[in-house]
Structures are given as structure tokens and as C-alpha cells.
């Protein structure tokens, strides 16, 4: 039996220390009264009259508010057409979220158009350092789409390394270089070498510049992995204070909160993010924050609150432009949330027939479409209609093949894991229990060998958690408990994992362990707004 008590105690101490720290100082850039984006000081050769405007644009870029950053850098050029380095900011903003996966053709086209405009701007001037920034960002688009994206991002990382080598005192160069290193981390590298290297560059700077938005932001991204996440708690607590005018800055702390199972903290910061994004008209950012809220609400059994988010999705779906330049969560992240929110609502509650009846939609992003087909297939198999799952499994296979053809290896792999999980549950429903367990074990191993994308708070249904549920149904409680405990280590405070461990321990006849898990579940779920059978069982076992 495992327990979260030591981990939780350490986290409580860490949070109390962070809470005692003074709030980050706030600064206005370029006279935007009341706007709080943090403090940036990017040295340029441009006229001092545009310095504040340039710093504001860079602060927006650091918080992944890309549309606003493009407007701000363009405003710099309107005031001073000779400020060539502003074109660097426009091109990099067109690249968008560095953790956003394979770029669609429209993104490449917009970036290349921005490069062409910069090259045609004969008035623009660069000093040698600024030229190095501009030449580096060109690498992200050079040779696209024929040249593989990873080859281009690695070339960009190398160019930023050279820039830092030539300008060792340029803090902004080091910050963007660290981000490039994180961007190129492979989801299959469980040494987290890139992330640790990037964080090692960022953390000393963060201690000296606690109001810089990029430092807190990129530390959270670097540590956005189960074994590393506790290291990001301080940055997560502070980032929302540093740049509360940026919806993404209000959302990003929840990456850490989700990893460590702080559900109410995730809800609070994502509500603030969604409210700010709505005021700014950023539909994608609103949806992204809602998806993280949905995940957290369901862990706390606040199902009525989760239902309200589901009900809000159709209106936002009608207003989302998937090709618009926005914040970090524009386009595909919004589409993902549209699919994931109702799917999570069904799957986390074990409402299998409800999941099977979800409406499937087709978009230009196959991995977002896979969300619904996975939920439908799993729901059909687990509600006693395995044959009805076959069309959705076939669709998952076709989506995986399409992603492979698009050279999107990460999402092709994720969709294939979903297919494997669904096929395992179909086999189980059809009575092939040993085969099903073997298939689901393989899917769980594959999922453990990779990691979730930044677009998602977590898998729709962790494969190893599902393996635990299958083991329980197969009458193998000991094996089930091992699967649930492994899930809890990776995804702490997940309702279904803790509840599953409780049921497995009870089935083994270990009343003490079952009672311990029951108390742990009740400690997480303090104020449910609905009733689930596992919660009622926990109250009985804990008494």
C-alpha cells in the first residue's frame, strides 16, 4: 500500500513558504494603465522612445499572448519603422506556442509572409546581436513544409545557443534559449535532460528577476512532468501575480497544480483565466481554461459545476475560429477542449452509455477528433455494446494513419494508445479476458513511456487506471491495486484511482488498507455537489 501523506506534508510546507513571500511587484509598460504583465528589459538599438512599447510586446510574447504581441510589435514599427528587431518579435509570435505540436500549413504561411515583409522593409535596421535574433527565428520556418519540423526547431535551438555564446550578458537571449531547449524535449525521454537543463538556466535568473514573466512561465513548462512538478510550485504560485492581465499567465499555474493534485487551486486560477480571456475575446483561451477546470471539478465530485461547463461548450464552439492567431490556446487547443470537456464529464463519472452517445465531429486536427471517438468506443464497450465500438475504433485507426502521414509522430502514438485501450475493452466485453488484459497492459506501458501534451491536463482516462478497473472486474484485486497505486504515483489525487485502490484493497480483504484509501479519498473530496457510489462506500469504510 502507498500513501500520499509524506508528499502532501512536504507540499503543504512548500505552499506555506510561498504564501509568505511578498507579491511580485507590478509594472505598466508603455502607459497601459492598470495592465500588469510583469517586468521585461530587452535591450535594443531602437529609439529610446519605443523602449517601453517594445518591452510590453516582449512581455506579451513571454506570456504567449501572440495576437496581442503581434499588435504591440507592429505598433513599435508604426512609431519607428527602423526598429528592425520588432520584426523578430512578429515572426516568433507567428510561430505560436512552442509546445503546440506540428504546425498547420496556415501557420507556416503566415510566418513566411511575416518574414517576407521583414525582408522587404528596407528602412529596418539591426545591430549584430539583433540580426542574430532575427536569423535564429528564421530557422523555425526555413524549408517548411518540406523540411521536418523537428529539424527546424533543433536548428533554432542551435542558433540561440550561438547567440548566447556571443552575448553572454544578454538575459533575454538565455531565456529564449532555455525555452528552445524545452521545446525540443522528447516525450519519450524519461531522464528529462532537456527540461532539467532549461530549468537550470532559468532558476538562477528567476531568483534575481522575480517579476519577469518568461522565467516563471518557462520554469512551469520545464517541470511539467510527474516527477518534476513539485519543483515548479513556487513559480506556479507567483506567475499569476506577475502577469494577471494575461489569460495564459493565469492559466499556467494549473499545469503544476494538476500534476500535484491541487484541484481547488486549479479551479481558482482557471476561473480567473477564463474570465480574463472572455473579456479579451479569446475564445480558445477560455476553452483551454475550462478544460482544466472540468478535469479538476470532476476529481472533487463537483459534478454540477462540471455540467455547467459542458453546457457552455456549444456557444463557444460556434464562436471559435480555429485558424485565428490568439493566445497559447488558440485554434487546436480550443478544438481539443470542445471535444474533451463532454468526454471527461462522461468518462470520469463512469457514465458509459452517455460516453457512447457523444456526437463526433470532424476538424483539421485529427488528434482532437480522436478524443470523441475514443470516449464513444470505450463507452460502448463498457456499457455492454462492444459491437457498437467497432466503427469508432476503425476511425481511431484511420486518424492515427492520417497523423502518421502528417509526420505527427507524437499524436499518432497517442491516438494509437487510445485505439489499443478501446480494443482491449471490446475484447474484455466479448469474453476474451486474458487477451484483453494483455492488450491493455501493452497500452498502459506505451502510455507510461511517453507523456501528456501541454494542451491537456491529463489523459481522458489513464490506461493504467483502466487496467486496474479491468483487473478488478476480472477478479484480480491484487493486480488491480498495483495498477491503481502506479496511477496515483503519476496522477496524484485522481478520484477514480484512489477509489479503485479502495475497492481493490477491500476485495483483497484488507480492511485497514481500504479504510486508509477511503480517508484519503474523503480528504480530497471535501465538498462534493453530487453523489457517486464510490464516495458513499468511502464514508462507510472510513467510519
pLDDT per position as a tens digit, 521-537: 999 999 999 999 999 99
Question: Is residue 208 helix, strand or coil?
Answer: helix
Q: Report the alpha-carbon distance of residue 125 to residue 122 in Å, rounded.
A: 8
What does the H/E/C string look like for 392-452?
HHHHHHHHHHHHHHCCCHHHHHHHHHHHHHHHHHHHHHCCCHHHHHHHHHHHHHHHHCCCC
- 4 pLDDT band, cuts 50/70/90, is very low
Q: What percent of the chain has pLDDT over 70?
A: 93
Instruction: Please state the separation of Cα 502 from the chain's center in Å.
Output: 29
Q: Give the cell for residue 149.
A: 519540423
Q: Report the alpha-carbon distance of residue 96 to residue 161 in Å, rounded.
A: 20
pTM above 0.95? no
pLDDT for res 324: 79
pLDDT for res 16: 34
List, for residues 463-517, the tens digit of each pLDDT value.
999 999 999 999 999 999 999 999 999 999 999 999 999 999 999 999 999 999 9
Burial class (CB in 10 A: 0-12, 13-18, 19+), 359: exposed
Instruction: Find where cell 494483455 sits.
Output: 438
Is-contact 477 504, C-beta < 8 A? Answer: yes
- Please check the confidence at residue 11 and state whether its pLDDT lies above 60: no
DSSP 235: H
Is-contact 294 31, C-beta < 8 A? Answer: no
pLDDT for res 323: 80
Element (H, E) at 4: none
Amino acid at each position: 500500500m502507498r500513501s500520499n501523506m509524506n508528499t502532501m506534508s512536504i507540499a503543504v510546507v512548500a505552499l506555506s513558504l510561498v504564501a509568505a513571500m511578498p507579491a511580485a511587484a507590478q509594472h505598466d509598460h508603455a502607459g497601459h494603465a492598470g495592465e500588469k504583465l510583469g517586468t521585461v528589459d530587452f535591450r535594443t538599438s531602437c529609439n529610446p522612445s519605443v523602449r517601453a512599447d517594445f518591452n510590453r510586446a516582449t512581455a506579451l510574447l513571454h506570456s504567449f499572448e501572440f495576437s496581442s504581441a503581434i499588435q504591440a510589435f507592429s505598433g513599435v514599427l508604426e512609431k519607428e519603422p527602423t526598429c528592425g528587431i520588432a520584426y523578430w518579435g512578429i515572426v516568433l509570435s507567428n510561430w505560436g506556442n512552442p509546445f503546440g505540436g506540428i504546425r498547420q500549413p496556415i501557420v507556416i504561411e503566415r510566418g513566411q509572409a511575416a518574414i517576407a515583409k521583414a525582408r522587404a522593409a528596407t528602412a529596418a535596421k539591426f545591430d549584430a546581436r539583433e540580426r542574430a535574433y532575427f536569423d535564429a527565428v528564421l530557422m523555425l520556418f526555413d524549408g517548411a513544409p518540406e523540411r521536418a519540423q523537428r529539424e527546424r526547431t533543433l536548428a533554432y535551438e542551435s542558433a540561440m545557443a550561438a547567440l548566447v555564446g556571443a552575448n553572454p550578458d544578454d538575459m533575454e537571449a538565455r531565456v529564449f534559449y532555455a525555452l528552445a531547449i524545452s521545446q525540443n524535449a522528447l516525450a519519450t525521454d524519461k531522464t528529462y535532460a532537456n527540461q532539467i537543463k532549461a530549468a537550470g538556466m532559468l532558476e538562477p535568473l528567476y531568483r534575481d528577476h522575480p517579476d519577469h514573466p518568461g522565467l516563471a512561465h518557462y520554469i512551469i513548462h520545464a517541470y511539467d512532468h510527474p516527477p518534476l512538478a513539485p519543483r515548479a510550485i513556487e513559480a506556479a504560485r507567483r506567475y499569476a501575480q506577475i502577469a494577471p492581465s494575461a489569460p495564459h499567465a493565469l492559466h499556467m499555474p494549473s499545469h503544476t497544480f494538476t500534476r500535484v493534485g491541487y484541484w481547488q487551486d486549479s479551479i481558482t486560477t482557471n476561473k480567473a483565466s477564463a474570465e480574463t480571456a472572455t473579456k479579451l475575446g479569446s475564445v480558445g483561451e477560455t476553452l483551454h481554461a475550462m478544460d482544466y477546470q472540468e478535469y479538476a471539478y470532476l476529481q472533487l465530485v463537483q459534478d454540477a459545476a462540471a455540467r455547467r461547463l459542458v453546457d457552455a461548450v456549444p456557444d463557444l464552439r460556434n464562436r471559435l475560429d480555429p485558424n485565428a492567431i490568439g493566445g497559447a490556446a488558440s485554434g487546436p487547443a480550443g478544438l481539443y477542449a470542445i471535444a474533451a470537456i463532454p468526454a471527461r464529464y462522461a468518462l470520469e463519472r463512469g457514465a458509459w452509455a452517455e460516453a457512447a452517445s457523444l456526437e463526433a465531429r470532424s476538424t483539421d486536427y485529427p488528434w482532437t477528433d480522436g478524443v470523441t471517438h475514443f470516449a464513444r468506443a470505450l463507452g460502448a464497450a463498457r456499457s455492454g455494446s462492444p459491437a457498437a465500438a467497432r466503427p469508432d475504433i476503425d476511425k481511431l485507426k484511420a486518424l492515427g494513419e492520417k497523423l502518421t502521414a502528417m509526420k505527427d509522430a507524437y499524436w499518432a502514438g497517442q491516438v494509437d494508445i487510445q485505439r489499443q485501450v478501446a480494443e482491449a475493452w471490446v475484447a474484455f466485453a466479448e469474453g476474451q479476458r486474458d487477451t484483453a488484459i494483455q492488450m491493455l497492459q501493452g497500452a498502459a506501458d506505451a502510455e507510461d513511456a511517453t507523456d501528456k501534451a501541454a494542451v491537456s491536463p491529463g489523459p481522458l482516462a489513464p490506461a493504467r487506471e483502466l487496467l486496474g478497473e479491468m483487473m478488478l472486474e476480472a477478479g484480480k484485486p491484487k493486480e488491480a491495486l498495483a495498477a491503481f497505486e502506479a496511477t496515483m504515483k503519476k496522477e496524484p489525487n485522481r478520484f477514480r484511482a484512489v477509489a479503485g485502490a479502495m475497492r481493490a484493497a477491500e476485495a483483497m480483504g484488507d480492511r485497514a488498507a481500504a479504510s486508509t484509501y477511503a480517508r484519503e479519498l474523503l480528504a480530497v473530496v471535501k465538498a462534493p455537489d453530487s453523489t457517486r457510489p464510490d464516495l458513499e462506500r468511502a464514508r462507510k469504510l472510513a467510519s
